[in-house]
Amino acid sequence: MWFIPSSPGRRISLELTGIKKPFTEVIKANIGDAHAMGQRPITFLRQVVALCTYPNLLDSPSFPEDAKKRARRILQGCGGNSLGSYTASQGINCIREDVASYIERRDGGVPADPDNIYLTTGASDGISAILKILISGDGKSRTGVMIPIPQYPLYSAAISELDAIQVNYYLDEENCWALNVNELRRALNEAKAYCNPKVLCIINPGNPTGQVQSRKCIEDVIHFAWEEKLFLLADEVYQDNVYSEGCQFHSFKKILYEMGPEYYNNVELASFHSTSKGYMGECGYRGGYMEVINLHPEIKGQLVKLLSVRLCPPVSGQAAMDIVVNPPVPGEESYAQFIKEKESVLNNLAKKAKLTEDMFNKIPGVHCNPLQGAMYAFPRIFIPSKAIEEAKAHKMAPDMFYCMKLLEETGICVVPGSGFGQREGTYHFRMTILPPVEKLKILLEKVKDFHIKFLEKYA
Amino acid sequence: MWFIPSSPGRRISLELTGIKKPFTEVIKANIGDAHAMGQRPITFLRQVVALCTYPNLLDSPSFPEDAKKRARRILQGCGGNSLGSYTASQGINCIREDVASYIERRDGGVPADPDNIYLTTGASDGISAILKILISGDGKSRTGVMIPIPQYPLYSAAISELDAIQVNYYLDEENCWALNVNELRRALNEAKAYCNPKVLCIINPGNPTGQVQSRKCIEDVIHFAWEEKLFLLADEVYQDNVYSEGCQFHSFKKILYEMGPEYYNNVELASFHSTSKGYMGECGYRGGYMEVINLHPEIKGQLVKLLSVRLCPPVSGQAAMDIVVNPPVPGEESYAQFIKEKESVLNNLAKKAKLTEDMFNKIPGVHCNPLQGAMYAFPRIFIPSKAIEEAKAHKMAPDMFYCMKLLEETGICVVPGSGFGQREGTYHFRMTILPPVEKLKILLEKVKDFHIKFLEKYA
């Protein structure tokens, strides 16, 4: 099931003007939409995009020289020096070069080739495109795509649309949502009986589960993919969102390289990044990139052909992506402000991650794993059997019933765990930690009060 | 076959740095990319988008008040007043309202409902989405989609990708590429034997053929669609590009309405517009909209679900679309400059349309219909049988062979007619009229010299 996270909140927002509700404001904690929750854009990114949009501003003394330098470089990569020209389907050359340099810096010098970089319309466009070219066959030979449960529902939607088989592997909730290779193996072996599993999707840091994979875990997964000849699809859009002490983001690309030539010459990998998350939160620009490794030349040809149908990714999104991978560096005029803004966002998110975990774990009947990364809590909630019966009478999943009640009574909009998948008989919801700290505290208090009353009502 | 128009030119561009060629510059007359050919952006549009991008500029005295007013309105429609937020999948409400008002003005008061407007990632995104939800079935019941020949290859690519059946109807070259309903009927009746024709695609003004449909012709097509219960898909992205005297753009929506309730209550129609063409030429923003009429509520639900997978169209593209439908009006500060810029582009295009037609018709063995609208010439070229043989020896379509020779010898990049479809045994190419007048004259002279030499060589 593809869940449209914004709909119920929107409906209630509209209703608020008329019918009386026990709250004055809908808080949309259902979608990772940072700016909508009040986060300010990164000044430097917007300056560069504004300069590209209206190049007269290149003469304005109110824009810093380092922003102008980047804008000029981007415009030189555009036909007629205009953001209004089509670019190559793969994206602007100099931006792909900047992406490759970024990956090399991020991965401690592991080489990245601009030819392997494709700029995309957000990460989801790249993920859909790659899945489309990897999926084929029918009957028992239908392509199986392994995805984590819980997952981000783009995956299940794309798999179902492409008529492939969704192969679930379960993350280990008792163990901070860790990925266990034994579970991968179980899922794969069972799936082989009814489909042809070819792709293994990983979301790291996890959405909705927020775990950050250890180096050891990534090595195990890569070894498994190598052994089983699975195409690895690494969704790494939360790579800047790591909060817990002792946790660190490792890219699949880097670990693959460090495991030696037997791995990096053979394992096929596509990894994804985006302007939408991290500290910039620029969802509306629909900027993103993917890096592909060891893609068969024929498949690469198909990919280019497929991407050419949509002509090119939005060029202002490409420009925004450039600033994410090529931000101000020490010595540049805008560096101090950039770092201040970036760290302010990330430090705040880290604070809110801890706050949310602590607050949830104080509520009876709620358990929340540490939010090691990303921007969501995915607490497990106890739903009394009386409430489950009432949900059934309404033909609703129990956690959907819970979330609708929460929305109606508090104005807080979260997404039921059933939209992401969860182990049978367990219930969760996903809530973003994006509201400002003070608002988040109020929100968590309201959830607490609601939950206690809910337990009492259906005791 | 999906033709990637930009590739051969790009390859030769790169080669130019090394190998010696009989020309100094590649002229890319192969793709409708106005800014890449030197057309300047419309100042007002870019001012508004820059203001939305970097709202600090709202305090700058160097931006006009009417631009600021529009920027404020767009930002009020955005979550957190930021272009960086996701919007509803259907697009920002106030922009959909502006689109509806624009359509009402354009169509002399025929009502338009913002609920029927969907903002899209360029027109192609909307066309692909609509085709996707209309196409179903297998075997003899596979969906047939009627498209003009010659056509814009997005259609053939989408149809083939969706595993539907392409049903060709031929435009009448002897009659200025007019659409004849008898030909529609022939194509439909033949197609019924092997598929289930459900969709009729129209491109007006035509791409690559440049014809502008008469009111009578549109009425005939609508009557035909009503009679045969075909879903009408009207690609009207060149609605501002009409040049020939006596020609006028009529929207399918308007004529449908004027034909009375039997028609406008029954015929299903989707029509498309874009920021990429017209006088603004903002291809890189990937802005567009579609209006749907009489779409079944269930199908509408599927459409919204499909669109929600890609989250939302790029928000700066939505903002650009807003300015296309809501430009400065008389009395506003920016009106004079806006009209001057708009008319300069359109008058130039009209001049170039006439110039191109005249020049082509002076070349022996070339015939070119009047360029009534859009931004392309699609001349018919005589290819001698010796050249056809040589092309066959190279396993190339004869017009591809011709276009490759043209590129190698002159640096002029055009697209062979076989990329769009043409009657068996006829040959064409598509060339944009976007280069500046002086450059276009040189280009046409070069084509003439090349063609005469080509005829001599293969006589």
Q: Residue A183: exposed, middle, or buried by beta-carbon count in 10 A (0-12, 13-18, 19+)?
A: middle
Interface predicted TM-score (ipTM) of this complex, two decimals: 0.92
Kindly report the nearest CA distance between residue A276 and chain B, in angstroms: 8
Say whether pLDDT at B7 is over 50.
no
Average pLDDT over residues A266-289: 97
Phi, psi of B248 (to 5 degrees): -150, 145
Q: Which residue of B has its CA nearest to A158?
A: B309
- Output the DSSP codes for A154-177: HHHHHHHHTT-EEEEEE-BGGGTT
Mean per-residue pLDDT of chain A: 93
Q: Which residue of B has its CA nearest to A51?
A: B50
The answer to whether the CB atoms of B286 and A39 lie below 8 A apart is no
In this predicted structure, which of A15-24, A79-88, B346-355, B377-386 has the lowest mean pLDDT?
Answer: A15-24
Say whether pLDDT at A203 is over 70.
yes
Q: What are the tens digits of pLDDT across the range A406-433?
A: 999 999 999 999 999 999 999 999 999 9
The answer to whether the CB atoms of A4 and B305 lie below 8 A apart is yes
Q: What is the pLDDT of residue B1?
A: 32
Say whether pLDDT at B6 is over 90.
no
Contact call for residues A67 and A93 (beta carbons, < 8 A)? no
Average pLDDT over residues A321-339: 98
Q: What is the pLDDT of residue A9?
A: 45
**Which residues, in sequence order, are bridge partners of residue A394?**
none
Please tell me the distance from the alpha carbon of residue B369 to that of residue B49, in angstroms, as a whole number: 38
Q: What are the tens digits of pLDDT across the range B373-386?
A: 999 999 999 999 99
- Output the DSSP codes for B85-125: S---TT--HHHHHHHHHHHHHHTTT----GGGEEEEEHHHH
Average pLDDT over residues B391-402: 95
Instruction: Indicate the Cα dihedral angle A232, A233, A237, A238, nearest 10°.
Output: -50
* Residues from chain B contacting residue A154 (CB–CB below 8 Å): 309
Say whether pLDDT at B246 is over 50.
yes
Is A70 in a helix, a strand, or coil?
A: helix
In this predicted structure, which of A202-211, A418-427, B129-138, B412-421 has the lowest mean pLDDT?
Answer: B129-138
The answer to whether the CB atoms of B83 and A124 lie below 8 A apart is no
DSSP 8-state class, residue B290: E
Please tell me the distance from the alpha carbon of residue B203 to that of residue B233, in angstroms, as a whole number: 8
- Output the DSSP codes for B258-269: HT-HHHHTT--E
Q: What is the pLDDT of residue A21?
A: 76
Q: Which residue of A has its CA nearest to B37?
A: A80
∠ CA B200-B201-B202, nearest 5°, is: 120
Please tell me the distance from the alpha carbon of residue A291 to that of residue A314, in angstroms, as a whole number: 18
Kindly report the nearest CA distance between residue A14 and chain B, in angstroms: 12
User: Scanning the structure block, which residue is given the tokens 């045969």?
Assistant: B228
Top pLDDT among B3 and A383 is at A383
- Label residue B18 by pLDDT band (50, 70, 90): low
B419 alpha carbon, distance to own chain's centre:
15
* Domain B7-39+338-457 part of CATH 3.40.309.10: no
Q: What is the pLDDT of residue B9?
A: 45
Contact call for residues A208 and A171 (beta carbons, < 8 A)? no
Estimate the crossing angle of helix A335-361 against helix A437-457, to 10 degrees.
Answer: 20
Q: What is the pLDDT of residue A3?
A: 40
Q: What are the tens digits of pLDDT across the range B439-449?
A: 999 999 999 99
Smallest Cβ distance to B41: which of A10, A46, A84? A84
Domain boundaries, chain A: 7-39+338-457, 74-325
Please tell me the distance from the alpha carbon of residue A418 to that of residue A424, in angstroms, as a whole number: 10
The answer to whether the CB atoms of B35 and A317 lie below 8 A apart is no
What letter represents residue B5's amino acid?
P
Handedness of CA A334, A335, A341, A342 (dihedral sign): positive
User: Scanning the structure block, which residue is given the tokens 């020949």?
Assistant: B149
| Start-to-end CA span in chain A (Å) | 30
Kindly report the nearest CA distance between residue A173 and chain B, in angstroms: 27
Is A184 in a helix, a strand, or coil?
A: helix
**Helices in A284-334 by DSSP H: which ranges?**
297-309, 315-325
Say whether pLDDT at A92 is over 70.
yes
Q: Which residue of A has its CA nearest to B162?
A: A162
Estimate the crossing angle of helix A43-53 against helix A315-325, to 10 degrees.
Answer: 140
Smallest Cβ distance to B284: which of A6, A46, A86? A86
Smallest Cβ distance to A309: which of B154, B310, B311? B154
Q: Which residue of B has its CA nearest to A34?
A: B85
Helical (H) or strand (E) element with B149: strand B143-149
* Residues from chain B contacting residue A158 (CB–CB below 8 Å): 309
Kindly report the nearest CA distance between residue A170 and chain B, in angstroms: 23
Give whole-number Cα distances, B270 to B90, B118, B256, in Å.
Answer: 15, 10, 12
* Residues from chain A contacting residue B36 (CB–CB below 8 Å): 79-80, 82, 85-86
Q: Which of B3, B44, B285, B316 to mutate to test the interface with A (most CBs of A within 10 A)?
A: B316
Domains B7-39+338-457 and B74-325 share a fold: no
The first and second tokens of residue B235, run together, are 């690609």
Q: Of A121, A117, A372, A436, nearest to A239 (Cα)? A: A372
Please tell me the distance from the alpha carbon of residue B21 to that of residue A445, in angstroms, as a whole number: 73
Please tell me the distance from the alpha carbon of residue B373 to that of residue B375, in angstroms, as a whole number: 6
The first and second tokens of residue B446, run together, are 């070069």
**Helices in B5-42 by DSSP H: which ranges?**
7-16
Is A433 in a helix, a strand, or coil?
A: coil
Q: What are the tens digits of pLDDT across the range A10-66?
A: 455 545 555 667 787 888 888 999 999 999 999 999 999 999 999 999 999 999 999
Q: Of A212, A150, A204, A203, nearest to A353 (Cα)? A: A212
Say whether pLDDT at A5 is over 80.
no
* Residues from chain A contacting residue B57 (CB–CB below 8 Å): 50
Contact call for residues A179 and A221 (beta carbons, < 8 A)? yes
- Label residue B17 by pLDDT band (50, 70, 90): low
Handedness of CA A122, A82, B101, B270 (dihedral sign): negative
Please tell me the distance from the alpha carbon of residue B46 to that of residue B319, in angstroms, as a whole number: 10
Q: What is the pLDDT of residue B309?
A: 81
Smallest Cβ distance to B305: which of A2, A41, A283? A2
B416 alpha carbon, distance to own chain's centre:
17
The answer to whether the CB atoms of A85 and B283 lie below 8 A apart is yes
**Which residues, in sequence order, are bridge partners of residue A282?**
none
Percent of chain B clearing pLDDT 70 (strictly above): 95
Please tell me the distance from the alpha carbon of residue A204 to that of residue A273, in angstroms, as a whole number: 11
Contact call for residues B136 and B163 (beta carbons, < 8 A)? no
∠ CA B177-B183-B187, nearest 5°, is: 125
Q: Which of A309, A345, A375, A432 to mutate to test the interface with B (most CBs of B within 10 A)?
A: A309
* Residues from chain B contacting residue A41 (CB–CB below 8 Å): 82, 84
Percentages (nearest 5) of helix, strand, coil residues in chain A: 50, 15, 35
**Helices in A4-84 by DSSP H: which ranges?**
7-16, 43-53, 65-76
The answer to whether the CB atoms of A284 and B80 lie below 8 A apart is no
Q: What are the tens digits of pLDDT across the range A436-454?
A: 999 999 999 999 999 999 9
The answer to whether the CB atoms of B309 and A128 lie below 8 A apart is yes
Please tell me the distance from the alpha carbon of residue B426 to that of residue B381, in angstroms, as a whole number: 8
Q: What are the tens digits of pLDDT across the range A232-242?
A: 999 999 999 99
* Domain B74-325 part of CATH 3.30.420.40: no
Average pLDDT over residues B217-244: 97
Handedness of CA A190, A192, A195, A200 (dihedral sign): positive
